[in-house]
Amino acid sequence: MVHDMAGEANLMVLDMFAGAGGLSEGFFRKDFSFIAHIEKDAYASKTLETRALYHTLKNNGMLDLYYSYLKGEVSRDLLFKETEEFSGDISSGVFNVEISEKTEKPLIKEIQKRMREHHTRKVDVMIGGPPCQAYSITGRSRDPHRMEDDPRNYMYHHYITFLKAFKPDIFIFENVPGIFTAKNGSIFQDMLKRIQNLGYVTEHKILDAADFFVLQRRKRVVLMGWRSECGFEYPEFPSKEHNFYVRDMLADLPPLHPGDGCEGIQEYTEPPSQYLMESGIRAKKDVLIQHIARRHNERDREIYRCAIKIWETEKRRIRYSELPEKLKTHRNQKSFKDRFKVVAGDLPSAHTVVAHISKDGHYYVHPDINQARSLTVREVARIQSFPDNYKFEGPRTSQYIQIGNAVPPLMSEKIAEQVKHILRG
């Protein structure tokens, strides 16, 4: 069992629907230990393994090995081989499995087995949120059946099964506000009823990432529950005031034209801004990776320039109908009125990053008219408050999806801090 600096056993976490680790990152930072992460996507699971190894190496004063990997000096296989004393256990604790009726019982047994092997008496905290596509208002608007028949509506049943099996003192369930209205509200009400029947007191709030020093507007439902005998209360999360702008997290990155950049190491063009330092997004040892621009055809680039010009001169978003005729490709101009959007550098927060960015970058246009391109993986990761030393595994499309689906680490860190305070009493 892992102990913290004071010699006290670390609080143990079970990470459900873990994604690329945005929510778990905050708990890592606050010295929680993980008995298991469960994630169905193979690339996200590899990202989780890499990040868990980062924290283990950091705790053991061995980060030089990790940075050798970021710099391309050693392969991932060699990194894991040279750190076998840690990496084997980390990999066995990341379950790349889709949670279903068939896999529930085997997963629970495997996790219970790990608990015995690690002399772990209990799970203190359970975190995670099932896929949000079925609950998303945008997702429902795109589906002709409004996601009514989508099986992902009922993924919360699995979450509740694991709650019943492990009985954590406290749990964190995160999802989009659309969960309130999914199937006319019956989904959320049924979930609360089932959880409360297990002996948990629940409370939920809509939290905005922008209040957690994240330069992005991102509203999410954060449902917390605790065993009724614990007598806990939902923590307060005071908004962090600041005077930073979106440009403060982009200015040190080398300008790119479409197709420029690379997956590997590049040089920063400026020292880190005050925001990057205060947020921890860029540290002294960090190197710039995964900063490569998509290729765009000239028509799209011209549309991007139009959108940027209108923002710069009128401080408003472009309407598809006002584009020059030669640039229009869609007959239905009403449906595409908000198709292109600039991530404005002169605002204190960007608009919400979503996984759709993996399909095209039209909704996330870089504010520099000379670049006239969509955002890179590293730029989107920064908007989500991921540090530059966070390596996303897999191809670029998967990297965008992993980032778009994640909880911003600065937000999860504050949640973890409050959970630790509650449990330590």
pLDDT tens digits in sequence order for the chain, 425 residues long: 455 545 567 899 999 999 999 999 999 999 999 999 999 999 999 999 999 999 999 999 999 999 999 999 999 999 999 999 999 999 999 999 999 999 999 999 999 999 999 999 999 999 998 885 555 445 534 444 444 454 456 889 999 999 999 999 999 999 999 888 887 888 899 999 999 999 999 999 999 999 999 999 999 999 999 999 999 999 999 999 999 999 999 999 999 999 999 999 999 999 999 999 999 999 999 999 999 999 999 999 999 999 999 999 999 999 888 889 898 887 665 665 678 999 999 999 999 999 999 988 899 999 999 999 999 999 999 999 999 999 999 999 999 999 999 999 999 999 999 999 999 97
Report the pLDDT value the prediction gives residue 321, as an integer from 0 to 100: 85
Q: Which regions of the chain carry the CATH code 3.90.120? A: 246-396
Residues 6 or more apart whose CB falls under 8 angstroms from that of 201 comprise: 225, 226, 227, 228, 232
Distance of CA 397 to CAs 20, 43, 367, 376, Å? Answer: 14, 11, 22, 11
Q: Are 17 and 39 in contact (CB under 8 A)?
A: yes
pLDDT of residue 181: 85
The alpha helices in 180-273, defined as continuous H runs, are 186-197
Residue 143's pLDDT is 45
Best CA proximity match to 10, nearest among 121, 117, 94, 128: 121
Region of 372 please: left (phi>0), alpha (psi -120 to 50) or beta: left
**Ranges of CATH 3.40.50.150 domains, the chain:** 12-239+405-424
The answer to whether 255 touches 371, Cβ cutoff 8 Å, is yes
The pLDDT, as a whole number, for residue 138 is: 52
Question: Which residues are bridge partners to 206 per DSSP?
Answer: 221
DSSP code string of 217-231: --EEEEEEEEEGGG-
Residue 132 annotated in active site: yes
Sign of CA dihedral 54, 57, 61, 67: negative
Fold designation for 246-396: DNA Methylase; Chain A, domain 2 (3.90.120)
Catalytic, out of 132, 230, 262, 306 = 132
Q: Would you state the pLDDT for residue 147?
A: 46
Q: Which CATH superfamily is domain 12-239+405-424 in?
A: Vaccinia Virus protein VP39 (3.40.50.150)
